[in-house]
Amino acid sequence: MKQQLKEVVESALIELRKSGALQLEHAPQILIERTRDQSHGDFATNVALVMAKEAHTNPRELAQLIVETMPPSDQLVRTEIAGPGFINFFMSDAAYGDVIRDVLRQGELFGRSQIGGGEKVLMEYVSANPTGPLHVGHGRGAAYGAATANLLRAAGYQVHREYYVNDAGRQMDILTASVWLRYLDLCGEEVTFPSNGYQGDYIWDIAATLHRERQDMYHHPADLVMDGVPADAPDGDKEEHIDGLIAQARQLLGEEQYRQIHDEAMKAILGDIRDDLAEFGVEYDEWFSERSLMDDGTVNKVIERLQKSGDIYEQNGALWFRSTNYGDEKDRVVVRDNGLKTYFASDIAYHMNKLGRGFERMIDIWGADHHGYVPRVRAALAAMGEQPEQLEVLLVQFASLYRGGQKVQMSTRSGSFVTLRELRDEVGIDAARFFYVLRKSEQHMDFDLDLARSQSSENPVYYIQYAHARIHSVMRQLKEKEMVWNQREGAENLHLLVESHEKSLMVAISRYPELLESAALQREPHQLAHYLRDLAHELHTYYNAHHFIVEDQGLRNSRIMLISAARQIFANGLALLGVSAPEEM
């Protein structure tokens, strides 16, 4: 609808320039907006105000000229010049009728666009270290990432969804040591657990499985394990302590057994994460292993290339990437003095690998606490001769949980965090998915568990789902009264929908395609969540004001047609957000 209007204005401007009535250096961008007030029509453009100065004329006169030059359109009833020089457009009933017919004809495809132009996008989200179950912070990234991926697909992007598995590195070693120590405990050894280890119950579970299946295969006496290990905090350094334990594990178990425990622990946790996300309706096309980048030499190749280009220097036995040359605030280590590559090194390799797979755009969704990491990755891309703009990082702020008006405290290491699974159990998948995307991602969010759990009017999820279910209920009623909805007759009688509630609902429905484009371009699923609530409000208001199942056949069929179109929008929109659209509640 908006697009058609834009073309009308565009052709007027072209005509005016061709005839010499208007002299401009370049064609202005035409911005057409929905009006806030119905008395201003359906759409308005400020194009005359924007161009007036350059055209050396006053805005109202220019607006008049544009209106007079516009080609006739059956979509428009009339136009008016308002205020300082806005052009207001009043759309015809036929234009709205076309939208309703389109919705039913296109069904679940309605609202999709090609604005993404088939661009190949790699979206990476969650990518939590497989060292423990997902918590509610990951949940927000998951819900946001999945919904944004859906939006981009609906807008004509080719989206590949990926989870980067950090299966290499020190965190995994700490996990391995943690599991092994719990296992030794189950073997009857008295070991004091490191303050820096992973303390959750899930570690016990993995250890118990290990103990059941392998019995005392990995058993070593506690005093031998602790021999020569630096003291833990508070007397010593907790980092040195845990590193000492890792070294002991490696030595006593040997690389092969160490690797077995490592892999078992990771398999268990990663499997749990996959299940968790799948149950949450968050899907991936690929789970990408960090270790594979080490094993196939990609990381080494990247470092060599940077060395050749002179972007790497050695200092204090470590290799540093000169990221300050590319806008970062300090240089970054890629290989530590102990020879280990940093996470950053493999991350450069990972992003180069993404580009190597032919993706034109990389969208990473990170927790806001990683924001300082963005410049260095961009710097690395620049140093590698790539366009840093190809990497788009979307930051997701923390979500604080509130229960009974009290903030729920969380800490990963101590194991006293709220897991995503617990959240799902408490409030349900639909409420969790919806609440997570109800707020702009870069906004700190207060997640009210009591509200999300409540199955009442104050909960916006149910408000929307109820609107959808209500329409189904009307259809059931229709059947019970042994009436059949004649869609063709409805389509022919849309002109009978003259009530203000009907007009409002049609306007809301016609906004959907514009809304989807906007939400996709700005990576803002919350726009869709808010829109659906507005649409639900229109539906409920209409429902209260008028009857759909009326005697007059033409009117009945056209009203059912209208609410069927609304139903389709609810179904389409909720699906993009990962929320179910129940037929009855």
Q: Does 285 bind RNA (CB under 7 A)?
A: no
Show the site string, 35-64: x = touches RNA by CB under 7 A, - = not.
xxx-xx---x-x--xx--x-----------
Helices (H) and strands (E) in the chain, counts: 21, 15
Asked if the bond preceding 234 is cis, omega within 30° of 0, the reply is: yes
Residue with Cβ nearer RNA (185 or 426): 426
For 500-528, letters b (16+ CB in 10 Å) and e give ebbebbbbbbbbbbbbbbbbbeebbbbbb
Taking the complex as a whole, the smallest distance from the CB of residue 442 to RNA amounts, in Å, to 4
Could you give the CA distance from residue 195 to residue 414 in angstroms, rounded to a whole number?
9
List residues bridging with 164 in a β-sheet.
288
CA atoms within a 13 Å half-sphere pointing along the CA-CB vector of 573: 36
Q: Does 27 bind RNA (CB under 7 A)?
A: no
Return phi, psi of residue 488, to 5°: -65, -40
The two most distant CA atoms of the chain are separated, in Å, by 95
Of the candidate residues 4, 23, 409, 443, the single one contacting RNA (CB under 7 A):
443
Residue with Cβ nearer RNA (270 or 549): 549
Taking the complex as a whole, the smallest distance from the CB of residue 316 to RNA amounts, in Å, to 3
Taking the complex as a whole, the smallest distance from the CB of residue 548 to RNA amounts, in Å, to 4
Q: Does 572 bind RNA (CB under 7 A)?
A: no
* Residue 349 CA, distance from chain mean position: 24
The footprint of RNA on residues 72-91 (CB under 7 A) is 82-84, 86, 88
Taking the complex as a whole, the smallest distance from the CB of residue 167 to RNA amounts, in Å, to 9
The footprint of RNA on residues 125-164 (CB under 7 A) is 129
Of the candidate residues 537, 554, 571, 580, the single one contacting RNA (CB under 7 A):
537
Taking the complex as a whole, the smallest distance from the CB of residue 214 to RNA amounts, in Å, to 27
Could you give the CA distance from residue 372 to residue 396 in angstroms, rounded to a whole number?
13
The footprint of RNA on residues 542-571 (CB under 7 A) is 543-549
State the sign of the Cα–Cα–Cα–Cα dihedral 157, 158, 164, 165. positive
Of the candidate residues 215, 416, 477, 553, the single one contacting RNA (CB under 7 A):
477
Of the candidate residues 228, 372, 385, 404, the single one contacting RNA (CB under 7 A):
372
Residue 148, CA distances (Å) to 284, 439, 489 in order:
13, 13, 38
Could you give the CA distance from residue 560 to residue 568 in angstroms, rounded to a whole number?
12
- The bridge status of strand 391-396 relative to strand 361-367 is parallel
Taking the complex as a whole, the smallest distance from the CB of residue 110 to RNA amounts, in Å, to 22
Taking the complex as a whole, the smallest distance from the CB of residue 287 to RNA amounts, in Å, to 16
Of the candidate residues 395, 408, 429, 491, the single one contacting RNA (CB under 7 A):
395
Interacting residues of 548 by C-beta distance below 8 A, sequence separation 6+: 474, 556, 559, 560, 563
Show the site string, 478-517: x = touches RNA by CB under 7 A, - = not.
----------------------------------------
Q: Does 470 bind RNA (CB under 7 A)?
A: yes
Of the candidate residues 28, 156, 169, 388, the single one contacting RNA (CB under 7 A):
169
Of the candidate residues 260, 289, 473, 486, the single one contacting RNA (CB under 7 A):
473
Give the DSSP H/E element, type plus range, for residue 363. Answer: strand 361-367
Stretch of 93-101, 244-252, 369-377, 571-579 lying at the interface with RNA (CB under 7 A): 369-377
Could you give the CA distance from residue 543 to residue 473 in angstroms, rounded to a whole number?
12
The footprint of RNA on residues 307-326 (CB under 7 A) is 315-318
Taking the complex as a whole, the smallest distance from the CB of residue 267 to RNA amounts, in Å, to 18
Residue with Cβ nearer RNA (372 or 404): 372
The footprint of RNA on residues 185-244 (CB under 7 A) is 239
Q: Does 580 bind RNA (CB under 7 A)?
A: no
Taking the complex as a whole, the smallest distance from the CB of residue 216 to RNA amounts, in Å, to 31
Q: Does 455 bind RNA (CB under 7 A)?
A: yes
283's tokens: 């899907």
Angle among Cα 87, 88, 94 to the nearest 5 degrees reads 135
Q: From the CB of residue 299, how many other CB atoms can be counted at a distance below 10 Å? A: 24
Q: Does 178 bind RNA (CB under 7 A)?
A: no
Residue with Cβ nearer RNA (211 or 351): 351
The footprint of RNA on residues 402-441 (CB under 7 A) is 438-440
Q: Which of 397, 390, 344 is nearest to 367 (CA)?
A: 397
Of the candidate residues 176, 248, 397, 557, the single one contacting RNA (CB under 7 A):
397
Stretch of 91-99, 143-151, 384-392, 522-530 lying at the interface with RNA (CB under 7 A): 522-530
Residue with Cβ nearer RNA (53 or 357): 53
Q: Does 533 bind RNA (CB under 7 A)?
A: yes
Taking the complex as a whole, the smallest distance from the CB of residue 240 to RNA amounts, in Å, to 11
State the sign of the Cα–Cα–Cα–Cα dihedral 239, 243, 249, 255. positive
Taking the complex as a whole, the smallest distance from the CB of residue 246 to RNA amounts, in Å, to 12
Stretch of 6-14, 139-147, 392-400, 569-577 lying at the interface with RNA (CB under 7 A): 392-400
With DSSP H G I counted as helix, E B as strand and the rest as coil, what are the percentages for the chain, rounded to 5? Answer: 55, 15, 30
- Whether 378 and 388 have beta carbons less than 8 Å apart is answered as yes
Binding residue count for RNA, defined by CB under 7 A: 87
Q: Does 344 bind RNA (CB under 7 A)?
A: yes
Of the candidate residues 275, 369, 389, 422, the single one contacting RNA (CB under 7 A):
369
- Whether 30 and 4 have beta carbons less than 8 Å apart is answered as no
Of the candidate residues 7, 296, 329, 389, the single one contacting RNA (CB under 7 A):
329
- Whether 535 and 508 have beta carbons less than 8 Å apart is answered as yes
Could you give the CA distance from residue 198 to residue 195 in angstroms, rounded to a whole number?
8
Give the DSSP H/E element, type plus range, for residue 567. Answer: helix 553-577
